[in-house]
Structure 1
Amino acid sequence: QRVTGSRLKGGDPTANVVSLTAEDMARRGISTMEELFRQMPWAYASNTSQSSRYFDAPVDVDREIGTGDGMGIGVSFANLRALGSENSLILVNGRRVSGRGGSEYNAVNLVNIPLSAIERVDIDLGSASAIYGSDAIGGVINFITKKRFTGLEATVRQELSATDADRRVMSVRGGYAWDSGSVTANLSRDESEPVNNRKIWTSMDYRDLLGPEYDRRNSIAQPGIVCQQAGGFFGTYWLVFPRCERGAPSLQLPLGHSGVGATVDDFTQELALFDYVPPQNGWVSESLGLNVRAEQYLGDGLMVYGEALLSEHDAYIEARTFADGYIIGADNAYNPFGYNVAVTYAPFREVESGQFPTANDESVHTMQTVNLGTVWRFGGSHELDVSVTRSESEQESTAWRARYHRTEDEPTAAEFYRILSSPDPNVAFNPFGDGSAQSADLSSFLVPTFDFGGRTVGTTIELVLRGNLLEIWGGPINYVVGVEDRTRKIGRNWSWFADRGRDVLDYWEDAYAVPEPESGLRAEFMELGFPLFGAKNARPGARELYVSLQARRDTHTFTGPQGGIERIRGGFEPNAYRAWQPGVGWVDAWGPEYDTLQGTANILDAEKKDTTPRIGLLYKPLDSLSIRAAWTESFHPPLFSQQFSVEDIRMRDFGLFFQDYLHPDRGEDDFVFVSLPLIDAPYDPEIKSEYADKLSLGIDWRSESIPGLRWRVDWSQTDFTDKIADASNFTGIHPELIAGNEKVIQRDENGYPISATRGLVNLAVKVSEYVETSVQYSFDTNFGRVTPRLTYSRFLEEYFQLTEVAEPTSRLGTQHGSDRYRLTGQLTWQWERLAADLFVYYTPGYTNDRPGSCNNVVGRCLTSFQQLPAIEATSLTTVDGSASYWFDNGLRLRAGGRNLFKRESPSPWSFSGILGYDPTRWDARSRVLYLELTWAMQD
């Protein structure tokens, strides 16, 4: 059995580990790992099933955002203390598993961890990098799977959501044991539905709630908006990228007009705003999970074991469907203009009726982890553990859209363009009206537009020797020594239907001259535990004193290119594309040629290494009082893509417009607007590793005079320095903070800016200081045991600085930061076979300080595209409850609900108004009622 936070036999008593058993999680009413971390005050929901498609996290909050290469579907990550999901290390049975397929950040996708296979979850918020290496800066989450089970158990669960996000879970567990071994298997299936947004809010016009600036209705509407298609010398270019003729007005039929029999005079320049609420959030999904563990003893001291965790998660979500930039030919039966027009049309009515196929995204995420090992116990107290772990994750995602431009060889092209220009009203596409007179066959309109594939494979060989050394005052010295050898390969490719048809990009081969970059790690580690005072020599004031020393030496190796390739820009040619021209057919079209790369990449080796130390202390002056303290320093090396690129660092042929807050001539103004020559640095061979210093202190007191009374307090601080970020993330958003960074803005001896560099930068520091205290009292009554518990958690500090002289930017209590504090109350009642739990969660209000940009000049929006006024969100209190009962025949019934009183989102606005609620603070499944049946037959 592995213990989180240490490889010592029996664990390290100085580690701050929070453990939640399968029963604890069941009492909370959760059915996925995502829901577990939503409830934890030290976890920030930056990337979940409800936010991954929309949330654009600042670099200091999270870098593994789902809206990147994987389109944000089928992904969910844990982000401990808002330090980034890439810094929250996830283990299974104490061993690493692969992160999302194709991603350099080793953030593990929680959808591939089946809850039914988990016996308990250990979370170490302290300092585990000296044990597990990099990625553990924010903390460690260790999923311990079920094992050594004999018998048969089956569970069926049905959840009903107030917003239609229902879920069904089925699992079967079986196990068999013999004299010298055992085997356990767990199979699970999970089906879920997306959130029905229209049960939460019904209008994109928020003016009555938030003020005149908050109207997010738009004119991509039904009836469609039309204009004369652009022509001229480069007219064929606009066949690929349809647009209005310069000066041509945008026109629309009145609301309610079908488009049949319309004349030019029926169109108006007064465009109607359309109120469209996206129908879904989350996914239609199916998950399958299989976990198998087998072990066999070969004599008294030798055991061999094997375990496998296999999972697949299929996800599907509807996207907004619209026909954007369609060219409707002059011959179209519904076109009254007599010339080709460009149309933007949202076929809402046709989508609702099923006539127009719905745009959608779909993905498949798989993970296969296999671990084989042997344990040899010898010499009374010594143990040698040798293991090999291979973990592979893959991702395939596809986006289907009703795109306009198609190539000659696409199967749907001929029919699609025929419908757009047909003079037959029974065949022609009608984008001019309200959709009520649509008779065309639209099955050819939806086509694949973007594919992404990713694969990550990691192999780890680990050798660990542990045991006891000589006896000292309080007991034997515990020791661990070991080595770890790890390799990781990452494959990634995109395929999209661009101007010339289907373009395929092998990301690594094309940009880094290696098909699958491989990184290596060799680590040596040790642990020593010194029981200075213990049962043997305990005395008043020193019942126990334990000192833990840990150290790990990590050497990361990389091989990749650093320059050597010159990019030759392509020209603008009259036959770059083939495009469809209504009334003519396929023609050559103007367009830019592809860039070409010349030269030979300089392939080099790079190495990043450092030592991670840790010192821990446990002191018990009384049997009822424990005091823990620990310090550690950890590091995280730069990614492959941050150290390598085939292209050289070069001066660009365009500049950077920058608000210089340190300009010598700014006078009484805040800044001077300047244009600077721009240096493009696609890689940085001198980028520093990221570092973190951690301090933690904990007190645990159990009353001797009042049995059952317990009080705990835990404090910790993390100073995260040299965090790697892209400087371009700050030159536009936070120019006042980056102006003093000489790596980004270069200045002469008088302080005048002379150039800017677009590349990587090490942030000065991000600080997270957190305290949590809880009190509980367990007592017996004639009707069972009752335990009330109250937990108060607070972030004392959460800020970052871009430079050492920059003003700190606090995230606390803002959209992109942790809650200032949380209160959690729990009441547990246990009486023989009956158990019940009540949970109350309180979070204070917060400030949505990044609500998006103004659409136009109105109210407090003095200019278009300035930042909207901040929104003050209200507090939120939710109540969960559950109850269970074991029957004589092995049947257990569990029922309960989450958010029983159906409390609404504390903010009616998030992600620039895309959603009418904030899914980072509120679960959009709203009230969830569930019923669970478990039948068990055990030896």
Structure 2
Amino acid sequence: MAMESSVSKAVRQGLIYSSLTAVALGTTSFTVAAEENEEVERIEVTGSRIKRTDLEGASPVTLITTEDFAKTGALSAADVLRQSNLNTFGSFSESSGSTWQSQSNINLRGAGADRTLVLINGKRMPGSPTMGGSAVNLNTIPTAAIDRIEVLTDGASAVYGSDAVAGVVNIIMKRGYEGLEISATGSSPEQDGGDEWKAHVVGGIAGDKGSVSFSVEHQDRDIIYQRDRWFSSSTGLDEQFYNDTTGVSAYARNFLDMTTFAFSPMEACNNDKMVGGGHVYDYGDGDYICGYDYTAEGADHAAREYTAGYINGEYFITDEITFNTQALFSRNETFGRYAPAAGWFNVDADQIEIQNWVDGVNTGSSTNENAGRVYYRFTDVGTRDSTTIDYSTDIQFALEGEHDDFGWDLTYHFNRAENSNYGSGYVHRPTVEALVESGEFNFGPEGNDESVVAAISHDVLAQDFMDFHSINFGINFEAIELPAGMVGWYVGTEWADYSYSSEVDQESANGEVIGSSGNGSGGDRDVWAIFAESVVPVTDDLELNFALRYDDYSDFGDNVAPKVGLRYQALEDVVIRASWGQGFRAPALSDLYAADSFSADYATDYRYCELQGTSANDCTESQYDVTRTANEDLDAEESDFYNLGVIWNITDEFSAKVEYYNLSIDNVITFISLDSLLTEEANVGYGNLSNGAEIVRAGDDPNGRLLEATTPLVNGNGFDTDGVDINLNYTGFETEIGEFGTNLDVTWVLSYEDEEYFDGPTNDMVGRNGLPEYRATWTIDWEMGSHSASILTQYIDSQSEDTDPVTYEESGKINSHTTFDVTYNYQTNWEGTVSLAVRNLTDEDPELDSNLSYNTDLYNLYGRTYLVTYTQRF
């Protein structure tokens, strides 16, 4: 091959010397003439198991280095990946109070975190048991041990199997490291909460017979309460109408008459824990309620304490055989807080005192005439505090051999995840109902005494486990000589065993705990696979790639995934590449076997608003009781993915890359959201929902207020998305005041066609709330002697706020979002580095809708944050 990518050259040098430098969150792709007699090291690049001499193959790979980490100011790999424009529609991050509060993931192409495969050194990481085994928790991966991250933005099920539908994130750990590095970072937002510090030690030695590398790190971050940010704290507390408030819950001290289905405030509203000590809101439809300000107690971002260790050892048994072992250990503890438990329970007639409000006037109190439900906030019990402790152990043993053009590898991989969630401040429903019936529960403003509080209080426990074993064996060789060279081959087999269990305390499993959700589940599966790849040099300028994989699952069936790609050196400075492949995603074990679980979902009941004379724009979302059900009859998802790219080295310093992608997924495994059920109901009528879904309205009346719903897990029809990735890179601009470089990455989503509701009409949803059309990352770098600096600009496009449930017309606007991260570094003459950084220089808040809500997957709430780091190398 006459041409060579300079990034490929840099990657090889990085693998050998650990000195790779790449652009922030993007790739550099420009070619230069290779020296005629230069010996080229073959490397394995994510997306293929065949070692090659060029990073730019038939599939696009984005390189993220440790230098790029520093430019973002982020202290974890999870935070870095979430900021990438390839994480198109955002992804989940730590959320206070939920069972997922310790979790973080990556969502390539907006296709879902469970359709993005995560590898460690090219080997599959099993999904987190807390997320049902469907996605990897990035918070378990030691950041200090990372050498680089390779992101394949192409389907790769033919190479790696299930989950590689939208792409692959391959986290490459340090190996063969020499020296010692000690580093400490302090981080402080201008606004309250979220202070953070981190320290790590990285070291290693190498000799003629092998090497040992290790790292130890600790990270500590404070909690961020909702009251710490103006946009997440409550508003409109003294308003007349409930719809004019934010952060106020109807789960306060209110009664729903199950005969008339009218809401009324209780006498217990006259309590200083309720808004205004008993302020009453007009709830619409002639109903009145008091409210509870849940933002006064709850938190948005969990506190986190993280400790991790990593060790890698390699031993050269002979000149041709190497033994390699690595182990990763992490302990991730988080603390979150919800407002006091809220729930409903049943009362008989003549058990409580309610207030009678007519046209905004309190006409006095009376005993409830009919049986009903009390929507109650248990402030006497205190806040719901949640502590999660996650342990992760990952161990690999590998033998690798090479002889001339023949190589082989054998790897055993073990992963153990133990996640525990301890919660206090919850309430035992049967005890409450028994005390209500006996008259011992005090509904008066003064509340309950200590003996009642102790009787109804309940601590919850949820524990999730995943054991994963795999054995991989493969051989690579060259066979069949063509005029342009030898055909490269890789043939391998893989066996994996998953054992998953999720357990909760018995009262939670029985649905007897107010303020809790979730249920237990468990399952086991074996997977066996065989796969093959080849690289065929058709001419000096044209290379073809083929891959085929067969997977057999013990619990649901088998799958065959093919892939074809090509790389064509069209001109001396122009490369054209393309690939097509089919993929699949197996149902997670929790998808198949989880017990029914309770969830409090937010949704907007447009139909009920219309009946009340409220316009769609003024109709606000509310929280409803939802039961989620698993499905043992789920099929695997299937996908088609193809890309077409052009790489042009315009000059030695300036390069451009344009990549078109198209992803189509069928049989999508999904819970039918409550919003989707409401849209379906508006089209098919009350009581006519499909797939076992159910909506229950007051009095079983189609025009009644929504009370609760059941939503099943199903195979939907699927969705299609396509878009363009653009990269422009310029380096080596020398001036009297230093050398400059710049890199621009843009992801432009051309379409995202999905169903409006299950089995309903399909529309292009790009530009809707949470689905921005554009995301961009622009970096400017400067270096002069011992000084260097960078400015990282990140842009998220504007979105519409609402979509009409009938016409699907979009309305309202959520503004675009631009942030600037600035970093300065000074290299001392004693191998030390001082780094100063400001994240979110202009102190931008998240982009808010008219209800002051924001998309937590797309934006964070830290605001302007200052960082200082000192690193010493020996």
| TM > 0.5 fold call | yes
Provide the residue aligned with 1:890 in structure 2: 831
Which amino acid is the alignment partner of residue 277 of structure 1? Answer: T
Provide the residue aligned with 1:123 in structure 2: 151
CA 1:918–1:804: 2 relative to 1, 3 Å: closer
| Structure 2 residue 88 is the aligned partner of structure 1 residue 141 | no
| Of 385, 398, 421, the match for 1:397 | 421
| Of 66, 69, 72, the match for 1:25 | 69
CA 1:402–1:482: 2 relative to 1, 3 Å: closer
| Of 256, 264, 267, the match for 1:251 | 267
Any unmatched runs of 5+ in structure 1? 54-66, 231-237, 263-268, 331-336, 351-355, 422-428, 535-543, 559-605, 648-658, 660-679, 747-756, 853-866
CA contact (8 A) 1:814 1:846 kept: yes
Provide the residue aligned with 2:855 in structure 1: 918
How does 1:270-281 map onto structure 2 within 5 Å?
273-278=291-296, 279-281=298-300
Q: Secondary structure at the match of 1:920?
A: coil
| Structure 2 residue 843 is the aligned partner of structure 1 residue 902 | yes
Provide the residue aligned with 1:292 in structure 2: 311
Provide the residue aligned with 1:304 in structure 2: 323
Provide the residue aligned with 1:317 in structure 2: 336
| Of 642, 655, 658, the match for 1:695 | 642
Q: Secondary structure at the match of 2:129?
A: coil
Provide the residue aligned with 2:745 in structure 1: 791
Provide the residue aligned with 1:374 in structure 2: 399
| Structure 2 residue 819 is the aligned partner of structure 1 residue 874 | no
Provide the residue aligned with 1:541 in structure 2: none
Quick one: distance in 2 between partners of 1:693 and 1:168? Answer: 43
Which amino acid is the alignment partner of residue 798 of structure 2? Answer: G
Larger radius of gyration: 1
Provide the residue aligned with 1:573 in structure 2: none
CA deviation map 1:834-877 (0-9, x unaligned): 2111122222211233799xxxxxxxxxxxxxx99964211111
Quick one: distance in 1 between partners of 2:510 and 2:487? Answer: 69
| Structure 2 residue 491 is the aligned partner of structure 1 residue 481 | yes
CA 1:642–1:205: 2 relative to 1, 3 Å: closer
How does 1:695-844 map onto structure 2 within 5 Å?
695-704=642-651, 707-726=652-671, 730-735=676-681, 744=691, 761-778=714-731, 779-801=733-755, 806-817=760-771, 819-844=772-797
Quick one: distance in 2 between partners of 1:483 and 1:802? Answer: 41
Quick one: distance in 1 between partners of 2:554 and 2:527? Answer: 6
Quick one: distance in 1 between partners of 2:263 and 2:400? Answer: 78
How does 1:100-249 map onto structure 2 within 5 Å?
100-101=128-129, 103-163=131-191, 164-201=193-230, 203-205=233-235, 213-216=243-246, 218=248, 225=253
How does 1:591-740 map onto structure 2 within 5 Å?
606=556, 608-640=557-589, 683=631, 685=633, 687-704=634-651, 707-726=652-671, 730-735=676-681
Task: Quote how far apart the aligned CAs of 1:469 are.
Answer: 2.6
| Structure 2 residue 537 is the aligned partner of structure 1 residue 531 | yes
CA contact (8 A) 1:29 1:896 kept: yes
Identity %: 21
CA deviation map 1:869-916 (0-9, x unaligned): 96421111111111112111111111111111101222146xxx5x74
Task: Quote how far apart the aligned CAs of 1:17 are.
Answer: 0.6
Q: Secondary structure at the match of 2:136?
A: coil
| Structure 2 residue 490 is the aligned partner of structure 1 residue 466 | no
Quick one: distance in 2 between partners of 1:376 and 1:520? Answer: 28
Q: Secondary structure at the match of 1:467?
A: strand
Task: Quote how far apart the aligned CAs of 1:299 are.
Answer: 1.7
Provide the residue aligned with 2:48 in structure 1: 6
Which amino acid is the alignment partner of residue 792 of structure 1? Answer: V
CA 1:700–1:321: 2 relative to 1, 3 Å: same
Q: Secondary structure at the match of 1:892?
A: strand
CA deviation map 1:333-353 (0-9, x unaligned): xxxx999999987687x9xxx
Which amino acid is the alignment partner of residue 143 of structure 2? Answer: L
Quick one: distance in 2 between partners of 1:343 and 1:743? Answer: 31
Quick one: distance in 1 between partners of 2:570 and 2:529? Answer: 37
How does 1:331-410 map onto structure 2 within 5 Å?
357-378=382-403, 380-403=404-427
Which amino acid is the alignment partner of residue 734 of structure 1? Answer: E
Q: Secondary structure at the match of 1:6?
A: coil
CA 1:357–1:374: 2 relative to 1, 3 Å: same
Provide the residue aligned with 1:857 in structure 2: none
Task: Quote how far apart the aligned CAs of 1:296 are.
Answer: 0.3
Which amino acid is the alignment partner of residue 128 of structure 1? Answer: A
Provide the residue aligned with 1:550 in structure 2: 547
Task: Quote how far apart the aligned CAs of 1:517 are.
Answer: 2.4
Q: Secondary structure at the match of 1:403?
A: strand
Comparing 458-467 and 248-257, the one that deviates more: 248-257
CA contact (8 A) 1:204 1:217 kept: yes
Task: Quote how far apart the aligned CAs of 1:130 are.
Answer: 1.1
Provide the residue aligned with 1:749 in structure 2: none
CA 1:851–1:480: 2 relative to 1, 3 Å: same
CA contact (8 A) 2:468 2:499 kept: yes
Provide the residue aligned with 2:362 in structure 1: none
CA contact (8 A) 1:251 1:270 kept: no
Which amino acid is the alignment partner of residue 311 of structure 1? Answer: S
CA contact (8 A) 2:226 2:295 kept: yes
Task: Quote how far apart the aligned CAs of 1:249 are.
Answer: 6.8
Q: Secondary structure at the match of 1:198?
A: helix
| Of 428, 432, 437, the match for 2:445 | 432
Quick one: distance in 2 between partners of 1:500 and 1:713? Answer: 54
Query: What is the Cα-based RMSD across aligned positions, in Å?
Result: 4.7
The TM-score, its normalising length taken from structure 2, stands at: 0.75
Quick one: distance in 1 between partners of 2:94 and 2:804? Answer: 18
Which amino acid is the alignment partner of residue 697 of structure 1? Answer: L
Quick one: distance in 2 between partners of 1:710 and 1:468? Answer: 33
Which amino acid is the alignment partner of residue 403 of structure 1? Answer: V
CA contact (8 A) 1:102 1:394 kept: no
How does 1:485-500 map onto structure 2 within 5 Å?
485-497=495-507
Provide the residue aligned with 1:667 in structure 2: none
Q: Secondary structure at the match of 1:86?
A: helix
Task: Quote how far apart the aligned CAs of 1:471 are.
Answer: 3.7
CA deviation map 1:757-797 (0-9, x unaligned): 99664333311101011222222223332112333321001
Quick one: distance in 2 between partners of 1:637 and 1:127? Answer: 15
Q: Secondary structure at the match of 1:277?
A: helix
CA 1:884–1:323: 2 relative to 1, 3 Å: same
- Between Structure 1 and Structure 2, how many residues are aligned? 746
CA 1:244–1:282: 2 relative to 1, 3 Å: farther
Q: Secondary structure at the match of 1:3?
A: coil
The TM-score, its normalising length taken from structure 1, stands at: 0.70
CA 1:895–1:610: 2 relative to 1, 3 Å: same
Quick one: distance in 1 between partners of 2:670 and 2:95? Answer: 22
CA deviation map 1:315-374 (0-9, x unaligned): 11111025877999x9xxxxxx999999987687x9xxxxx7532111112211100011
Q: Secondary structure at the match of 1:131?
A: helix
CA contact (8 A) 1:402 1:445 kept: no
Q: Secondary structure at the match of 1:847?
A: coil
**Which has more helix, going by share of residues?**
2
Quick one: distance in 2 between partners of 1:550 and 1:245? Answer: 62
Task: Quote how far apart the aligned CAs of 1:522 are.
Answer: 1.2
CA 1:430–1:724: 2 relative to 1, 3 Å: closer
CA deviation map 1:454-476 (0-9, x unaligned): 11111110101013234433332
Quick one: distance in 2 between partners of 1:112 and 1:619? Answer: 40
Provide the residue aligned with 1:931 in structure 2: 868
CA deviation map 1:291-321 (0-9, x unaligned): 1100101121111111011111111111102
Comparing 99-108 and 130-139, the one that deviates more: 99-108
